[in-house]
Structure 1
Amino acid sequence: MTMFEELYALAASATLTMVISADNKSGRMTINVIPKPKKDVDEPALTKALSLTATPEEFDAEFVGVLKGYREVRQSLSAQAEATQEVLQAAKAASAKKAGEAMTKAAKPAAAATPAKAPSVAKAAMPEPADEGEEGGDGAAGAAQPAASAAAGGGSYDLFG
């Protein structure tokens, strides 16, 4: 392709601004190709300018190839940006669906939980209180100690005898 064919292909997806400057001391020039995306055609994140500095002879020999590479990378990046947007939209939809399902589950009564389980665990962990009429009993602590010792397999203790 010629230089203007490459510029045309690049301008099909973005309006281009070109800034060209020359440095008399070094004999080099700088060319900036700055794309401005067209609405609904290109991703705004792809507005990175192409900035090149070289001699006029180097531009004559290589500018078309560099411009072609820049255009191809922009197209590739544009395709990647579109694919990323599709993935993000799908993830957003899936997240909204999960949130809706969670809200539906939370709205249902919690009838599946059995209230008898929690008290039975607490009941097993706590010793039963002793009757106040027991001999030598000093409340729940006095009755719980011999019961705990007997349960541990150490036999029964006679603390007062």
Structure 2
Amino acid sequence: MTMFEELYALAASATLTMLISADPKTGRMTINVIPKPKKDLDEPALTKALSLTATPGEFDAEFVGVLKGYREVRQSLTAQAEATQEVLQAAKAASAKKAGEAMTKAAKPAAATPAKNATPEPADDGDEGGEGTVGAQPAAVAPAVGTYDLFG
């Protein structure tokens, strides 16, 4: 490919800014190709500028090959970044689904099962006070297992 064909291929995936400066003392020039990805991939490597310093003759001989290599690496990075985004989005969706299922499960009322040592409620003997059976004693409360008196 020619230089402009390579630049075109590179510009298909990123907006390019090129800065060119010359140093008359050394006879060399610096070319910076700065991409701004068209897709927001959050991949910092895709915004890494290509910065080259060489003589004009070296640029004539090698610039197209360097651009091609740079473009191919960027394409590989783009593919990797897109694949990573797909994996992260799938994991996010799976996590949201799990959370939704857990919330649904937690919202269902638990089946009421009588406790093993529960004292039965006194039968209603018809007395309007709601006091239960005359002479009924409150159930003794057993101390909780594993409790300690920290202040005694």
TM-score by length of 1: 0.65
After superposition, the CA RMSD in angstroms is 2.4
Contiguous gaps of at least 5 residues in structure 2:
118-141, 146-152
1:65 is displaced (CA, Å) by 0.7
* Greater displacement, 57-66 / 90-99: 57-66
Separation in 2, partners of 1:62, 1:22: 18
Per-residue Cα deviation, 1:97-127 (whole angstroms, up to 9, x for no partner): 000111011112233877328xxxx89x8xx
Equivalent residue letter for 1:33:
V
Look up the match of 2:116: 116
Three-state SS of the structure 2 residue aligned to 1:109 is coil
Separation in 2, partners of 1:83, 1:15: 22
Three-state SS of the structure 2 residue aligned to 1:116 is coil
1:37–1:44 contact (8 Å) kept in structure 2:
no
Change (3 A) 1:113 1:62: farther
Per-residue Cα deviation, 1:16-63 (whole angstroms, up to 9, x for no partner): 11110011222211000112233x4x6363222111111222212211
Look up the match of 2:27: 27
Three-state SS of the structure 2 residue aligned to 1:110 is coil
Structure of higher CA gyration radius: 1
Separation in 1, partners of 2:54, 2:32: 12
After superposition, residues 126-145 of structure 1 pair within 5 angstroms as: none
Instruction: Pick the aligned partner of 1:43 from 20, 41, 49.
Output: 41
Equivalent residue letter for 1:43:
L
Three-state SS of the structure 2 residue aligned to 1:104 is helix
Separation in 1, partners of 2:103, 2:34: 49
Look up the match of 1:10: 10
Change (3 A) 1:5 1:44: farther
Task: With a CA cutoff of 8 Å and minimum separation of 6, indicate the structure with the bigger relative contact order.
Answer: 2
TM-score by length of 2: 0.68
Equivalent residue letter for 1:23:
D
More helix by proportion, 1 or 2? 1
Separation in 2, partners of 1:15, 1:4: 14
Look up the match of 1:84: 84
Equivalent residue letter for 2:34:
I
Separation in 2, partners of 1:112, 1:23: 86
Look up the match of 1:103: 103
Change (3 A) 1:44 1:17: farther
Displaced runs of 4+ in structure 1, greater than 4 A? Answer: none
